[in-house]
Amino acid sequence: MSKSSSPSYYLVLDQGTSSTKAFLFDENLDIPFKDRIKHSLEYPADHQVQSDALEIARACKELTKKAINFSQHVGGYISSAGLAVQRSTFLFWDKRTKKPLTAAISWQDNRSQDIVADLANESDRIFNITGTPFSPHFGGAKFLHFTKNDPILKKSVLTQKTCFGPLSTFLTHYLTNTLVIDYSIACRTQLLDLNNLKWSSALCKLFHFPNKSLFPLCNNVQSFGKMTLDGMPIPLNVVIGDQQAALLGQGGWDSGSIALNFGTSGSVCVNTGKNPVIVPNLLSSVLNSDQEKMIFMLEGTINACNSLFYWLEKELNIDHKDMVWHERCIDESTNGIFIPGVTGIAAPYWKSELGTVKIGLENAKNNEIIRAAMESIGFLVHDIIKQMDLKDALPDMLTASGGGARAPLLQFIADILMITVGHISLKDRTAIGVFQLLYKKNTGHYLSVGAECDEIFEPRMKKVTRAKKLKHWQNALAQVGI
């Protein structure tokens, strides 16, 4: 069988906080192959979260080999690959050997809070340049924290023997030997000037980041080199942030498109078109870029979604198989408030060392606490959308995807926002977003993908109850200094 008549596939690697997934898509959006490898998360101290970058890189290779074996078994081949990656996880690695010199410091990690505190008077300037609130989650503070506390590491960076960058750049380097950073993830370094999409010399100076150590900036869709495994070279043609891919996977190609995504973390993302929209306490970044155009995104991030319930398993001594949080809280009610600050609160408040706070839950049983924790996610979605000030631009229905987009949460969001919420029926929207970019690069157009909802949640909470709940939430935030 000739290659032209063999079935061709697009390989998508979706690298997330706790696992890496691999998908093979055919030209009809069918997924004949899917696999997943989990990786461990380490918590060396309070507010510290990290993982093994080499373990993740090897998982990417192993999954790619499995995809190759499948494609060959059915007489096909992989035409190209794309990679979606968690965005604010950073590390140092050896430029020659590609060996990690530190753990991959998670986006959830707050150990560089000391840098944020020391440079607090620079926060407005940083935001005005980057469109991103100054936070220990992002690259600049992480870089300065580590080099400040490790003179040997600092020296190796200055001599250009050591790289510092996001996990996406490390994986691209490891898999293809290409050292670049795409625009969507470069925004999370806090070194990129969003106004001109160039590295900021002022911020490099502020964070003591050597200009010679900056990676070349590149589009999300372009040639990133080839992954060669088992003698098969696979062009890597897309690298993009995971939440950007999720918005595109929900059909967010047009300006004004808005989508909710709930996984380990959560996000509210809006396509803002050809120009960045800067809103205090939210994040503006590149949504997608190719040779034709650059489009931007406004985002509110929620640090704890599914990860919140993983934390509660230990806190409440509940086995993982018994948690099933969406079943535990669907018929539960509470007047208590749970503030999910175990990894800090991101948008729109940016409190890094808050910790978890329970108010009015002193004698509550487990299911009520779980219900209050779930409602905290909905409250943050409400506050983010309020901060976005979308006015008449808010659609008649918001759509949600992700493993955490469960019925009780979506119903609560519908109630608290007083807007219809739909659950997207098609799974793996992040992977679909990457597939669409690969498909367009190959064919010149996107594939029509349905955005049908399998569940619709209409607002049903009484206005007086809604007002009371929002007041309790706001009072609780005030009690902890927000």
Contact 229, 221 (CB under 8 A): no
**Segments forming the whole domain that contains residue 163:** 3-238
User: Higher-confidence residue: 324 or 7?
Assistant: 324
> 227: which DSSP letter?
E
- Residue 391 backbone zone (phi > 0: left; psi -120 to 50: alpha; other: beta): left
pLDDT band, residue 3 (cuts 50/70/90): low
Residue 59 lies in a domain: yes
Is the Cα dihedral 461, 462, 463, 468 positive or negative? negative
Residue 32 lies in a domain: yes
Contact 129, 200 (CB under 8 A): yes
pLDDT of residue 341: 81
User: Higher-confidence residue: 412 or 28?
Assistant: 412
pLDDT band, residue 355 (cuts 50/70/90): confident
Asked if residue 446 has pLDDT above 60, the reply is yes
pTM of the model: 0.92
Asked if residue 388 has pLDDT above 70, the reply is yes
> How deeply is 326 buried, as exposed, middle or buried, from its count of CB atoms within 10 A (0-12, 13-18, 19+)?
middle
Helical (H) or strand (E) element with 8: strand 8-15
Collect all residues with Cβ–Cβ distance below 8 Å to 293 and sequence separation of at least 6: 274
Locate tokens 């004949």: which residue? 32
Dig out the tokens for 56 from the structure: 């993740």
Segment 323-336 shows an average pLDDT of 93
> 108: which DSSP letter?
T
Cα(50)–Cα(104) distance, rounded to whole angstroms? Answer: 5
pLDDT of residue 2: 46
Cis previous bond, 166, omega within 30? no
pLDDT of residue 5: 64
Residue 452 lies in a domain: no
pLDDT band, residue 351 (cuts 50/70/90): confident
- Chain mean pLDDT for the chain: 93
Q: What are the tens digits of pLDDT across the range 74-125?
A: 999 999 999 999 999 999 999 999 999 999 999 989 999 999 999 999 999 9
Dig out the tokens for 422 from the structure: 């739909």
Contact 164, 148 (CB under 8 A): no
150-154, 261-265, 469-473: lowest mean pLDDT where? 261-265
* CATH code (residue 48): 3.30.420.40
- Residue 314 backbone zone (phi > 0: left; psi -120 to 50: alpha; other: beta): alpha
322-326, 369-373, 444-448: lowest mean pLDDT where? 444-448
Q: What are the tens digits of pLDDT across the range 301-328?
A: 998 898 899 999 999 999 999 999 999 9
Helical (H) or strand (E) element with 273: strand 266-273
What one-letter code names the amino acid at 466?
A: R
Cα(300)–Cα(316) distance, rounded to whole angstroms? Answer: 29
> What is the number of domains present in the chain?
1
Q: What are the tens digits of pLDDT across the range 138-163?
A: 999 999 999 999 999 999 999 999 99
pLDDT of residue 230: 82
Residue 217 lies in a domain: yes
Q: What are the tens digits of pLDDT across the range 161-194?
A: 999 999 999 999 999 999 999 999 999 999 999 9
pLDDT of residue 180: 97
> 220: which DSSP letter?
S
Q: What are the tens digits of pLDDT across the range 209-218?
A: 999 999 999 9
Task: Tell me the CA end-to-end span of the chain in Å, nearest whole number.
Answer: 65
Contact 53, 93 (CB under 8 A): yes
Strands 337-339 and 50-51: unpaired
Residue 39 lies in a domain: yes
Choose among 265, 286, 350, 243: nearest CA to 131: 286
Residue 69 lies in a domain: yes
* Strand extents, DSSP E, 303-377: 337-339, 357-359
pLDDT band, residue 480 (cuts 50/70/90): confident
pLDDT of residue 1: 42
Collapsing DSSP to helix, strand or coil, 345 comes out as: strand
Segment 9-20 shows an average pLDDT of 95
Asked if residue 200 has pLDDT above 90, the reply is yes
Cα(235)–Cα(228) distance, rounded to whole angstroms? Answer: 9
pLDDT band, residue 233 (cuts 50/70/90): very high
> 441: which DSSP letter?
H
Residue 61 lies in a domain: yes
Residue 380 lies in a domain: no
Can you give 129-182 as a three-state secondary structure string?
HHCCCCCCCCHHHHHHHHHHHCHHHHHHHHCCCEEEEEHHHHHHHHHHCCCCEE
1-15, 56-70, 334-348, 396-410: lowest mean pLDDT where? 1-15
Segment 287-312 shows an average pLDDT of 93
pLDDT of residue 4: 56
pLDDT of residue 357: 86
* Alpha carbon 380 to its chain's center: 16
pLDDT band, residue 248 (cuts 50/70/90): very high
